[in-house]
Chain A
């Protein structure tokens, strides 16, 4: 594909440049020049994250071909969270206060070494706080939020992807909206396609009853509309999910839950072998016999035609936390 890049979103193809391997001796487990696919996986049982799994518990197929996987200990991999918050006119008064409270709760869930940023969107986007380890700067940005205008959700998610895609950490985009897209320039399909090519995991929180809307559409035999269900699709395609929050308490809980859940995910990687060349690769992850759990991860990744564009090397913990099968 002409514009295919060394890509990934939840599933990332990482090129390990030889030079950098030398300067990053703490990552001895990876050979330089090897292409890796990274999978950010959530395992739940009865809605609760399952902990304590090892690489031996996972079975991964790439285009139907079984792969040998490695597992990072995510507790020791720093994460980057970009809050992408709807500040259209409808988010004012009590709703604004509840949103601020929830965002503060999400920031409170980050660990030392994690980083965060804040992007707000009405019809206009505003990077209120660039990504950094200075969480107080993000808090200050939150307090300055002024609701106004319409809802450019699609443009907001695109900008969030662009900002996070150039960041080397595990990337969480936490998106909040209280309504539907009505002001963006970009087509939803284009942004979803970009998400497929990045390693950003999108989690959404909405006050709109999307689930019942979706069920109604399903009952009537409709396929979901890209515009209406954009956030759901963005989350699905990136390996995240959307939570509905109908009260201030639920909003706070949803934000906090997302951060906790993201921290409890598993980070798998593998060198794709025998799974075909450039293009879309379908990935399936499941637990081996004897283990129970529902898997949430990216449905696949794009293998680029060339390797002209290289993604930055992820910053890994100084103590190697790599378990080989």
Chain B
């Protein structure tokens, strides 16, 4: 059964990612066919292997769209583990090289190093370079920052696949798959290089998006499992815990700093404000979260963003103990999207705290009796998954800038 919610909430975005993935491999294959391009690569690249991958992807995607998960399960489990592992290595190698290039202030060129790491073959590196370029044929002036959108789109494609298929993949393959996705995603967040290009980039809004994405990753890296470490520690604290707490704290601070920077660059970046507010709530600072939400320019927001602003505002006010205000915000969100689940849940939470159990049950019962998917989507479901929100639009904007 395909993830129908995702299909509903961001079908266009995902299709674009699928397309990006296929396009990457197509370009890789066509680059290999191009004698000019082949000069950049190690001749040992196996054209057949890339062609095969490309065909597999195309067939899988087509079948998945037609038959759902059941149709591709067997095929997935037969996917050669070596290839996924190789992809993970590509990503790691590229990360290292990108970091090294940045240190030397060199433009990051996807050339094979003189000496390949022992575990990575020259063919792999060359193929990685092809993948990394992601359309070198069409994106002439890619520059250093082209890697971020590419890694992001590739990482998203992998993660998307991982999310859908993790339960049917064999464990070793699953682990490798996730590693590949995570490496690519982390590479995408490593966008310090963007700052160097600020003078070239006129549209500040898009840079703000990148800052926001970076903040989101810092937040994600601060494991929720260790969230309690943000709170005052008791006397059972040990040295190891202090180290972990310091790391956790620094990541959260980094995330907050980065979100603040993103909205400073673009005060109209509503998602930046929302993530900042949620992060502040997470740190038990609901009053500061409300202050951040109050800074959002309310004019010309689309319905989903208005819903999210009201939802997050309701949550922060409930956390601050302002139950009446919280209920009002939740009700307003419900008016915008009556079928959305989270605002209704939020309102029922305020009712239960007020001792109005029957009212809370009544509020939920009818909505929850609807079969899944029937009552409409909830923007929170897409938003809470992280910086995937409307990422395609960001990528398109970036590509457009690069073209200019």
Contact = CB atoms under 8 A, between A and B. Distances in A.
A122 B353 contact: no
A27 interface: no
Interface in A209-226: 220-226
B380 interface: yes
A220 to B, nearest CB: 6
A161 B345 contact: no
Contact of A186 (B168, B345, B360): B345
Nearest to B350: A3
Contact of A155 (B164, B234, B345): B345
Given A222-B241, A225-B224, A225-B228, A127 B348 contact: no
A136 interface: no
A127 B368 contact: yes
A14 to B, nearest CB: 13
Nearest to B371: A126
A130 B3 CA distance: 26
Interface in B348-378: 348-349, 351-358, 360-361, 363-365, 368-373, 378
B39 interface: no
Interface residues of A, number: 54
Interface string A239-271: 000000000000000000000000000000000
Contact of A185 (B227, B236, B315, B319): B315
B297 to A, nearest CB: 24
A88 to B, nearest CB: 9
A227 B355 contact: no
Contacts of B342: 155, 185
Nearest to A146: B1
A148 B7 CA distance: 12
Contacts of A119: 368
A147 interface: yes
Contact of B355 (A5, A90, A163, A226): A5
Contact of B227 (A122, A150, A155, A227): A227
A241 B275 CA distance: 35
Contacts of A149: 3, 5-6, 381
B4 interface: yes
Contacts of B224: 225, 227-228
Contact of A198 (B241, B323, B357): B357
Which of B5, B349, B355, B372 has most chain A Cβ within 10 Å?
B355
Interface stretch (A54-62, A71-79, A97-105, A189-197): A189-197
B381 to A, nearest CB: 5
Interface in B197-234: 224-229, 234
A6 B358 CA distance: 13
B370 to A, nearest CB: 8
A7 interface: yes
A112 interface: no
Nearest to A167: B361
Interface in B155-172: 163-164, 166-168
A165 to B, nearest CB: 4
Tier of interface size on chain B: 35 or more
A6 B141 CA distance: 68
A41 to B, nearest CB: 23
Interface in B308-351: 311, 315, 318-319, 321, 323, 341-342, 345-346, 348-349, 351
Interface of B is mostly: helix
A7 B240 contact: no
A158 B348 contact: yes
A308 B355 CA distance: 9
B228 A197 contact: no
Nearest to B340: A185
Given A5-B355, A222-B241, A187 B319 contact: yes
Nearest to A222: B241
A225 B59 CA distance: 43
B138 interface: no
B384 interface: yes
Interface in A141-162: 146-150, 155, 158-159, 161-162
Interface string A281-313: 000000000000000000000001000110100
B167 A163 contact: no
Contacts of B311: 185
A309 B355 contact: yes
A191 B315 CA distance: 12
Given A228-B225, A304-B355, A90 B368 contact: no
B334 to A, nearest CB: 13
A194 B315 CA distance: 15
B361 A165 contact: yes
A165 B357 contact: yes
Contacts of B237: 221
Interface in B131-177: 163-164, 166-168
B66 interface: no
A190 B347 CA distance: 12
Which of A123, A185, A227, A311 has most chain B Cβ within 10 Å?
A185
B290 to A, nearest CB: 15
A313 B238 CA distance: 50
A114 B187 CA distance: 56
A21 interface: no
A26 interface: no
A166 interface: yes
A166 B373 CA distance: 26
Given A124-B5, A225-B227, A90 B167 contact: yes
A322 interface: no
Interface in A171-201: 183, 185-187, 190-191, 193-194, 197-198
Given A126-B372, A190-B349, A3 B240 contact: no
9 smallest A-B Cβ distances: which pairs? A5-B355, A309-B355, A185-B342, A127-B368, A165-B357, A221-B238, A166-B361, A162-B360, A3-B353
Interface of A: 2-7, 89-90, 92-93, 119, 122-127, 130, 146-150, 155, 158-159, 161-163, 165-166, 183, 185-187, 190-191, 193-194, 197-198, 220-228, 304, 308-309, 311
Given A2-B323, A190-B318, 19 more contacts: A89-B163, A93-B167, A124-B372, A124-B378, A125-B341, A126-B372, A130-B365, A148-B4, A155-B342, A155-B345, A163-B365, A165-B352, A166-B357, A183-B381, A185-B341, A222-B226, A222-B228, A222-B241, A309-B356
20 contacts: A5-B357, A7-B355, A89-B164, A90-B167, A122-B372, A126-B368, A126-B371, A149-B3, A150-B385, A158-B348, A162-B352, A163-B361, A163-B365, A197-B353, A222-B229, A225-B226, A227-B224, A228-B224, A309-B354, A309-B355
